[in-house]
Amino acid sequence: MSTINQSGWRPTTPEAGEAGDLSTFTGNRALMLDEALIFEIGSSETTGVDFGEVPAAPSRLGGLERSAEIGLPGLSEPETVRHYTRLSRQNYAIDLGLFPLGSCTMKHNPRLNERMARLPGFADIHPLAPVDTVQGALEVIDQLAHWLITLTGMQAVAMSPKAGAHGELCGILAIRSALDAQGQQHRKILLVPTSAHGTNPATAAFAGFSVEDIPATEDGRVDLEALKARLGPDIAGVMITNPNTCGLFERDMKAISDAVHAAGGYVYCDGANFNAIVGRVRPGDLGVDAMHINLHKTFSTPHGGGGPGSGPVVLSAALAPYAPLPFVEKQGDKFHLVEEETAGEHHAGTFGRMTAFNGQMGMFTRALTYILSHGADGLRQVAEDSVLNANYILRSMTDVLEAPFAKYGPCMHEAIFSDKGLPEGLSTIDIAKGLIDEGYHPMTVYFPLVVHGAMLVEPTETESKAALDQFIGAFRSVAARAKNGDPTIKTAPHFAPRRRLDETLAARKPVLAWKGAVTAEAAE
Handedness of CA 382, 282, 180, 212 (dihedral sign): negative
CB of 228 to other proteins, least distance (A): 18
> Are 358 and 337 spatial neighbours (Cβ–Cβ below 8 Å)?
yes
Beta bridge partners, 330, equal: 335
Nearer to other proteins, 6 or 48 (CB): 48
Which of 163, 160, 164, 179 is closest to 289 using CA atoms? 179
CB of 395 to other proteins, least distance (A): 5
Nearer to other proteins, 14 or 99 (CB): 99
CB of 346 to other proteins, least distance (A): 17
CB of 19 to other proteins, least distance (A): 16
CB of 473 to other proteins, least distance (A): 14
Nearer to other proteins, 361 or 479 (CB): 361
Nearer to other proteins, 6 or 334 (CB): 334
CB of 179 to other proteins, least distance (A): 11
Nearer to other proteins, 6 or 304 (CB): 304
Provide the b/e sequence for 348-387 (b: ≥16 CB within 10 Å): eebbeebeeebbbbbbbbbbbbbbeebeeeebbbbbebbb
Nearer to other proteins, 264 or 410 (CB): 410
> Are 190 and 237 spatial neighbours (Cβ–Cβ below 8 Å)?
yes
Nearer to other proteins, 42 or 404 (CB): 42
Nearer to other proteins, 17 or 305 (CB): 305
CB of 7 to other proteins, least distance (A): 41
Which of 467, 477, 451, 469 is closest to 247 using CA atoms? 451
Spell out the long-range contacts of 135-141 with Cβ–Cβ below 8 A and sequence spacing 24 or more: 135/334, 135/335, 137/361, 138/328, 138/335, 138/336, 138/337, 139/335, 140/361, 140/364, 140/365, 140/368, 141/328, 141/358, 141/359, 141/361, 141/364
CB of 401 to other proteins, least distance (A): 16
What is the H or E stretch that residue 190 is in?
strand 189-193
CB of 16 to other proteins, least distance (A): 25
Please spell the DSSP secondary structure of 214-239, one letter per residue: E-B-TTSSB-HHHHHHH-STTEEEEE
Which residues fall within 8 angstroms of residue 45, CB to CB, at 6 or more apart? Answer: 74, 520, 521
Please spell the DSSP secondary structure of 333-362, one letter per residue: TEEEEE-TTT-TTTTTT---BSSSTTS-HH
The Cα–Cα gap between 442 and 452 comes to: 17
Nearer to other proteins, 14 or 78 (CB): 78
CB of 14 to other proteins, least distance (A): 29
Nearer to other proteins, 10 or 498 (CB): 498
Nearer to other proteins, 225 or 285 (CB): 285
Look up residue 319 and give its amino acid: L
Please spell the DSSP secondary structure of 407-455, one letter per residue: GG---SS-EEEB-TTPPTT--HHHHHHHHHHTT----EES-STTSTT-E
CB of 490 to other proteins, least distance (A): 11
Reduced to 3 states, what is the DSSP secondary structure of residue 191? strand
Dihedrals φ, ψ of 285, to 5°? -75, -10
Nearer to other proteins, 264 or 279 (CB): 279
Nearer to other proteins, 148 or 422 (CB): 148
> Are 187 and 236 spatial neighbours (Cβ–Cβ below 8 Å)?
yes
Residue 510 buriedness (CB in 10 A; 0-12 / 13-18 / 19+): exposed
Distances (CA, A) of 312 to 160, 323, 334: 6, 11, 23
Q: Give the DSSP letter of residue 11.
A: -
CB of 216 to other proteins, least distance (A): 15
The Cα–Cα gap between 440 and 449 comes to: 23
Q: What is the dihedral of CA 210, 237, 410, 451, to 10 degrees?
A: 10
CB of 176 to other proteins, least distance (A): 6
The Cα–Cα gap between 440 and 438 comes to: 6
